[in-house]
């Protein structure tokens, strides 16, 4: 069985026994309304369009639309020869120099004069342009005109993407500048979403070449009609293959599971447990999609893997669930006391919990950052952790990856970094927290979701 994955960075503190908390039964109620929130990672950026094929026109600009009754250079019908045309032109005056070309007259350079005694050759026009003309009937003034086809506005050429670094080079299909080679921002380099009272922000950070974090947020209602908010945050394990795909698949699967189970009356803590199992199955499925040639070229690489942490907030209950070292914090409005709600699945945490090492000694060890729990086909036996709480005051739940808590490790440090109006402006607060991590160095991907916990109704919990 494979050893623990090495975490991308950060320290874990506050170790304690992990496990499921006591379940709190939700009040039964009527049929649940339809969910009002769903997963979203940001609109994809449009790809650079291909320039449409230009249709060349052989018509002379400014040419009159009507045919000339007597045109010395008008092409003769296919049955006639050039000699016949020369004889017919003897009785007609030649056009004056500088006169505008008439319809039916071959423009300069577009058609050579036919050789005497040979049939006139007709040049094949480009596709999409009509240049042919019906032969005029005897005694008629001329044939019918076929107007040139106008350009299709739906395929109009659009400017190619320009490099954000040198502002001159064209960006190729792989996302790199052809001039300076600079990698262009990807869709997941920075993502933001606000869904009802929940908000989340994810950023690539300042050192990583891609964002391997992912999140999903949503809102729905319990069977009794009371609102419920959901947030899931996942961190791809960099030492595994396709960590960005693992985190995205896990966050979407867990969020979808929660939004499906909660309206059906499943207890939030049980729903969280099932959501983590669903996320695990989604990540395991990625291992089966690995091409055989990829395994041959890199047999030492681990299967796709990620960590997960989620929160469910109802009117009077807070439930968290996790596997790995992504965390959840409880920050009350009065900041006292702020609490870390999760315990890391890490080597250092295990050493401290077992009493084998002190906290300072354990986290100074080079193995401290290795995680001992994750989602993935090569993980040890999966043990989802869940816990339920009943806060007695309003506040906000911070759900984040180690890219943030590396710079606000303790509950007090996190409380100090969270803006005072976070419950009222969760998106703004999430942006502030991401900025806090970037200002601190941004050594890892940074993802945070904020879920406000409402004020407890007066008399709640009384007989």
pLDDT tens sequence across 206-239: 999 899 999 999 999 999 999 999 999 999 999 9
Catalogue the E-assigned strands of 89-212: 190-195, 198-203
Length of the chain measured in residues: 463
Q: Please give the model's pTM, rounded to 2 decimal places.
A: 0.64
Give the per-residue pLDDT at 198.
98
Tokens of 381: 């036996």
pLDDT in tens, 235-294: 999 999 999 999 999 999 999 999 999 999 999 999 999 999 999 999 999 998 766 555
pLDDT at position 91 over 70: no
Give the per-residue pLDDT at 43.
41
Task: Determine the Cα–Cα distance for residues 251 and 218; give it in Å rounded to an integer.
Answer: 11
59 φ/ψ angles, rounded to the nearest 5 degrees: -80, 145
Q: What is the DSSP letter of 46?
A: P
Give the per-residue pLDDT at 181.
86
pLDDT at position 64 over 50: no
Average pLDDT of the chain, as a whole number: 75
Q: What is the DSSP letter of 335?
A: -
Q: Is the peptide bond before 69 cis (omega within 30 degrees of 0)?
A: no
Task: Determine the Cα–Cα distance for residues 414 and 407; give it in Å rounded to an integer.
Answer: 8
Percent of the chain with pLDDT over 70: 62
The residue among 6 and 185 whose pLDDT is bigger is 185
Over residues 391-403, mean pLDDT: 97
Task: Determine the Cα–Cα distance for residues 257 and 370; give it in Å rounded to an integer.
Answer: 29
- Band (pLDDT 50/70/90 cuts) for residue 150 is low
Percent of the chain with pLDDT over 90: 51
């Amino acid at each position: 069985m494979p050893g623990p994955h090495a975490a991308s960075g950060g320290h874990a503190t506050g170790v304690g026994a992990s496990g499921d908390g006591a379940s709190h039964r939700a009040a039964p109620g009527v049929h649940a309304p339809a969910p009002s929130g769903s997963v979203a990672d940001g609109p994809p950026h449009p790809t650079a369009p291909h320039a449409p094929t230009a249709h060349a026109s052989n018509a002379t600009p400014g040419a009159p639309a009507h045919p000339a009754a007597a045109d010395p250079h008008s092409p003769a019908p296919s049955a006639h020869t050039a000699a016949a045309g020369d004889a017919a032109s003897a009785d007609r005056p030649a056009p004056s120099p500088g006169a505008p070309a008439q319809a039916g007259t071959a423009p300069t350079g577009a058609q050579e004069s036919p050789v005497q005694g040979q049939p006139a050759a007709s040049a094949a026009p480009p596709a999409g342009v009509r240049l042919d003309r019906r032969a005029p009937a005897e005694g008629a003034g001329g044939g019918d005109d076929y107007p040139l086809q106008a350009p299709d506005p739906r395929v109009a050429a659009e400017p190619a993407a320009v490099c954000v670094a040198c502002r001159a080079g064209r960006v190729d299909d792989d996302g790199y500048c052809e001039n300076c080679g600079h990698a262009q921002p990807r869709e997941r380099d920075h993502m933001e979403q606000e869904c009802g009272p929940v908000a989340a922000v994810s950023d690539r950070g300042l050192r990583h070449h891609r964002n391997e974090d992912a999140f999903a947020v949503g809102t729905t209602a319990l069977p009794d009609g009371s609102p419920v908010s959901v947030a899931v945050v996942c961190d791809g394990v960099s030492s595994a293959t396709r960590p960005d795909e693992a985190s995205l698949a896990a966050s979407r699967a867990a969020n979808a599971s929660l939004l499906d189970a909660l309206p059906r009356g499943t207890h939030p803590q049980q729903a969280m447990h099932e959501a983590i199992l669903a996320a695990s199955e989604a990540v395991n499925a990625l291992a089966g999609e690995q091409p055989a040639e990829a395994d041959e070229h890199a047999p030492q690489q681990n299967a796709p893997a990620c960590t997960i942490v989620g929160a469910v907030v109802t009117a009077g209950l807070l439930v968290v669930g996790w596997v790995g070292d992504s965390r959840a914090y409880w920050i009350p409005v009065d900041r006292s006391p702020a609490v870390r709600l999760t315990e890391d699945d890490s080597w250092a945490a295990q050493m401290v919990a077992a009493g084998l090492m002190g906290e300072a000694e354990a986290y100074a060890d080079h193995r401290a950052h290795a995680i001992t729990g994750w989602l993935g086909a090569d993980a040890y036996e999966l043990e989802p952790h869940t816990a339920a709480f009943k806060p007695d005051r309003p506040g906000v739940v911070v759900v984040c990856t180690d890219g943030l808590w590396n710079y606000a490790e303790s509950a007090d440090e996190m409380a100090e970094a969270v803006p005072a109006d976070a419950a009222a402006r969760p998106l703004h607060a999430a942006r502030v927290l991401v900025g806090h991590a970037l200002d601190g160095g941004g050594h890892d991907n940074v993802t945070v979701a904020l879920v406000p916990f409402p004020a407890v109704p007066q008399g709640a919990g009384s007989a």
